[in-house]
Amino acid sequence: MAIADILLKAGVFIAAMMNIAALLVTYDKIKNFKGEKAKELHGRYIQVKQLSENLEANYSEILIILSGITRADLSIDEIRWFITEPRAFLKLEKYGKVSGRYCNIDLDKGEFVLKEIVSTRKKRIVERSKILGISFCLLAFISAVWLFTVKDVQSITTVYIALSFWTAYFLVLLWGANLLLTTLSNAKKMVGTL
């Protein structure tokens, strides 16, 4: 009995040490990844800054370089703003994710601003409610379709397949709603900050 207890405690200790080692390795890899990403961003900034000396002539080449950072369609004035405004280039990737629907750049004020549909707290609550409402309605519709599909089926295999597809749809809807809600929250965080 004593040997079994010793082996159990040794197993728990070894498992804990392996988990700690795995966490340390993961932390180190994330830290290195952030450093590499910062170096890549700096390299692209240098390229864009050199090309921006003649922005109109090099506009298409600058857009190609920036396409690796952002999905936003930037105008010449916006590119000039991202290059000249301190710390703005660091926000370029996040701006690409939130621009268009929720956030824009006010070049006169030199800051990010929310669009009219989410400009106040009440409008943001309404937008979040729309996202959640549409997601819930889609889930209810898909559930009803799958319920009618499997209601008269005699095969348990078909029921399991239908339940698997329903779960996949549920996860996709959950992911989409989370993406939109996160985008709205990120847009709110970007406003007025650099």
What would the pLDDT profile of 83-100 be if each residue is shown by its tens digit? 888 888 888 888 888 777
The predicted model gives 155-161 an average pLDDT of 81
State the Cα–Cα distance between residues 187 and 193, nearest whole angstrom: 11
| CB neighbour list of residue 103: distance below 8 Å, 6 or more residues apart | 95, 112, 113, 114, 115, 187, 190, 191
The predicted model gives 128-152 an average pLDDT of 88
Task: Return the structure tokens found at 185.
Answer: 């929250």
What pTM did the predictor assign?
0.65
State the Cα–Cα distance between residues 186 and 94, nearest whole angstrom: 8
| CB neighbour list of residue 181: distance below 8 Å, 6 or more residues apart | 128, 131
State the Cα–Cα distance between residues 22 and 13, nearest whole angstrom: 14
Of residues 16 and 185, the one with the higher pLDDT is 185
